[in-house]
Amino acid sequence: MNATYACNSPIHAISRRNFLAGTAAGAVGMLGFNDMLSPANANEIRRQDKRVLVIFLAGGVSQFESWDPKPGVATGGPFQAIPTAVPGTHISELLPYTARQAHHLAIVRSVTVLTDDHGQGAYYMQTGRRQSPAERFPHLGSAVAKLLGNEDSPLPGYIHVSPRGESGFNRNDSAFLGPRYASVTLADGNPPANLIRPATLTELADQERNDLRDRLNTRFAQTRRSADTEAYTNSYAQAMQVMQRRNLFDLSQEPTYLRDRYGHHEFGRHCLLARRMLEAGVTFTKVTHSNYDTHHENFDFHIEQLGEFDKTFATLLEDLEQRGMLQKTLVVVMSEFGRTPTINRNYGRDHWGRSFAVAMAGCGIRGGALIGRTNETGTAIADRQVNGGHLFHTYFRALGLNPTRNFHHEGRPIPMADPAAAAISEVLA
């Protein structure tokens, strides 16, 4: 269903930059992270082959209809709370399959971003910093791709599977790390169109064209080699290797029963593709599930949207566990903010950044943990308030990284995570 009720914020627009243009200046982002990890620790962490999967519920999923139900009060809405696999922990009845996987989950019910703006909330949740005109900070995906990614991998380190827009690169994600660590958007799970050899171009002609480019690049580099030219050359090599891995996008290679369990809707297909990407070596994969900006008909739309999310997400967790991947994969379910306790005259809930919830599982996370609490009506945080900065620290600690250390940009030491925040220790295993 198309969400015509949403506020049409620019946060929902997808970048149109193409793959090769996005990678052309990638080596500019090869900054020193010497303070983040010693060489020995860096090699050891990379050998551990850790991955991250973020499910971003774009528009702002309602905490009342998901992780923090408040049945029986005026703000609670019509849905009940149901028990989970963790004694004493209840979530919304719209998530019955996820409830059975709650022993894997740590739920933080006391998150705040103190903004009701889509863009500002999304930025805070994905960078751990408030937006500032003085500096742009890299998204979690870009930082993880830089710190944990395999430099020799034929696949991008940060892939975003989006339900709409066009495939391509979004340089803004990586900030000063450079385009090499920007996200590659796969619109509706499709590879960037310019990675596929046109049918009118034979394989032999394509190879001859690339050989000519290689010779010209080599001649140019002999006298005018730079970080930009190296990145430009490497981007083509990576693109050719991705073309050779096109089978990753072919979900028909998965067993029918598994495709049925994930679901044949777009979110099901996108999560199955994300699992294939993680299994193939992509360090950070983000899947966006949209239509949560429910200013109108909040309850009907959450029935539909969470109906898609619930079984697919539960299947994804179970699939990762059965493949031995969950212990090495940090899984995070987040939104830019939550929804208001007040139900408006259109039976909707509006933007609410004061208190909402995030769920985590997998690598470094203590399954079954329940952190923070809102008051009886969900109008305020009653215990253990945290923000995007605390979450950013927590993700890094779960991955074995030290977020209090610095990296250097143009000679300036910059803390990777907000120095005013710290990890949520109760979540960590």
Helix/strand/coil (H, E, C) string of 372-387? CEECCCCCCEEECCEE
Query: Each residue of 284-316: b (16+ CB within 10 Å) or e?
Result: bbbbbbbbbbbbbbbbebbeebbebbbbbbbbb
Q: What is the pLDDT along the chain (429 residues), one digit of tens a residue?
A: 555 556 766 544 433 334 444 444 333 333 444 444 544 455 666 668 899 999 999 999 999 999 999 999 999 999 999 999 999 999 999 999 999 999 999 999 999 999 999 999 999 999 999 998 888 899 999 999 999 998 778 788 999 999 987 666 677 888 888 777 888 888 998 876 666 677 888 888 888 887 887 788 778 777 776 545 555 555 555 556 666 677 888 999 999 999 999 999 999 999 999 999 999 999 999 999 999 999 999 999 999 999 999 999 999 999 999 999 999 999 999 999 999 999 999 999 999 999 999 999 999 999 999 999 999 999 999 999 999 999 999 999 999 999 988 777 777 888 889 999 999 999 999
How far apart CA 28 and CA 231 sit, in angstroms, is 8
What angle, rounded to 10 degrees, do the helices at 227-243 and 203-224 form?
A: 160
What angle, rounded to 10 degrees, do the helices at 118-127 and 388-398 form?
A: 30
Partnered with residue 389 across adjacent β-strands are none
Cα dihedral 306, 307, 308, 311 in deg (nearest 10): 100
Q: Helix, strand, coil: what percent of the chain each, to 5?
A: 40, 20, 40
Assign 81 to helix, strand or coil. Answer: strand
Instruction: Name every residue whose Cβ is closer than 8 Å to that of residue 272 and which is 6 or more positions away in sequence.
Output: 251, 254, 258, 259, 262
Transcribe 329-342 into DSSP letters: EEEEEE-S-EE-SS
Partnered with residue 356 across adjacent β-strands are 111
Using left for φ > 0, alpha for ψ between -120 and 50, and beta otherwise, residue 183 falls in beta
Q: Which domains, and CATH codes, for the chain? A: 17-51+64-427 (3.40.720)
Q: Report whether 101 contacts 91 (CB < 8 A).
A: no
Q: Report whether 108 contacts 357 (CB < 8 A).
A: yes
Name the nearest CA neighbour of 55 among 143, 126, 157, 131.
126
In 237-354 the beta strands, taken as DSSP E runs, fall at 284-289, 329-334, 338-339, 351-352
Q: Report whether 408 contacts 31 (CB < 8 A).
A: yes
Name the nearest CA neighbour of 94 among 402, 323, 304.
304
How far apart CA 229 and CA 177 sit, in angstroms, is 17
Residue type, 309: F
Find where tokens 């998965």 sit.
254
Query: 238 burial class (0-12, 13-18, 19+ CB within 10 angstroms)?
Result: buried
pLDDT at res. 189? 87
User: What does pTM read for this prediction?
Assistant: 0.87
Assign 109 to helix, strand or coil. Answer: strand
pLDDT at res. 409? 74
pLDDT at res. 17? 39
Token pair for residue 145?
């791709």
Cα dihedral 86, 91, 94, 97 in deg (nearest 10): -10
How far apart CA 132 and CA 406 sit, in angstroms, is 19
pLDDT at res. 209? 83
Residue type, 380: A
Partnered with residue 352 across adjacent β-strands are 338
Token pair for residue 38?
């010693």
Length, in residues, of the chain: 429
